Amino acid sequence: MIIQANFASPAALIGDPVRALILNALMDGRALPAGELAFAAGVTPQTASSHLRKLVQGGLLAGEAEGRHRYFRLAGAHVAEALERLADIRADEPVRRRAPSREAQALRGARRCYNHLAGKLGVQVTKALQAKALVLSAADKRFAVTNSGIIWFEFLGIDIPRLKPGVRGIARQCLDWTEREHHLAGPLGVALLTAFCERDWLRRSPDSRALQVTPAGRASFRTLLDVEIEPGPA
């Protein structure tokens, strides 16, 4: 029996400009109310409602009621990963192009990819973890945590044995769409970003996926991982 992959349906949903803006607003893993998503997409609440219904029916979003409001989030990390990979597909760009905006520079420097660290910093941290043999590349785009890694992560309050494995274990490789290299994802990636934020090494932006590196974070990344962080856009 021949099994055909249905690319057309999700592609049509994602390809609409309004729905693309809605999906992008949810890429940091938060659940947002319909009104806020309508504002993010620049459409009326009625128009947004129609698009949200299609995204839920198409399996890209999940909705839940909270009081008088209905909140929406991506249906899962697999949706965020698919969107990140699609963002990496682009036509050859001309040599002369407009300089990236401050927002684009911030997103490239450090951002949330659904619920884990991405961007240049995410790749740098992942490379440093590998260089120190704390995690190792494994089959099926996974990372394996070494004995030294278990001790290192425990220092940050992350109990490796207690992490609940995902489909591809506790740590997987996620292709970064701006750096075109892999960063750490999976339950371990989520726990690591949480630990960084709890220690105030990174701060979440309230209206963007961008992450701000604090002075304490800059010093800690240098000390623990030999990661030097360039100053962000002025």
Q: For residue 179, give every residue at least 6 positions away whose Cβ sits within 8 Å of its Cβ, in sequence order, or none.
A: 108, 119, 120, 122, 123
pLDDT above 50: residue 1? no
How much is the pLDDT for 64? Answer: 85
* Topology adopted by domain 10-77: Arc Repressor Mutant, subunit A (1.10.10)
Q: How confident is the model at residue 3 (pLDDT cuts 50, 70, 90)?
A: very low
| Per-domain boundaries in the chain | 10-77, 102-225
Do 199 and 184 meet the contact criterion of CB atoms below 8 Å apart? no
- Nearest-angstrom CA–CA distance, 92 and 189: 31
Which residue reads 């940050």 in tokens? 156
Dump pLDDT digits (tens) for 190-201: 999 999 999 999
pLDDT score of 15: 86
Secondary structure of residue 232 in the 3-state scheme: coil
Structure tokens, 208: 């963007």
Q: What is the pTM of this model?
A: 0.71
Q: Which residue has the tokens 């999940």?
A: 62
The answer to whether residue 233 scores a pLDDT higher than 80 is no
Say what the pLDDT of residue 206 is: 79
Q: Does the pLDDT at position 134 exceed 50?
A: yes
3-state secondary structure of 180: coil
Q: Which of 199, 198, 194 is nearest to 116 (CA)?
A: 194
pLDDT digits (tens, 9 = 90+) for 44-75: 988 999 999 999 999 999 988 877 778 898 98
Tell me, what's the pLDDT at 100?
57
Q: How confident is the model at residue 177 (pLDDT cuts 50, 70, 90)?
A: confident
The pLDDT of residue 11 is 83
Pick from 41, 40, 38: nearest CA to 70: 38
Question: How many whole angstroms separate alpha carbon 81 and alpha carbon 21?
Answer: 16
Measured CA to CA, the distance from residue 140 to residue 156 in angstroms comes to 27
Structure tokens at 175: 């292709």
Structure tokens at 70: 């209905």
Where is pLDDT greater, at 88 or 195? 195
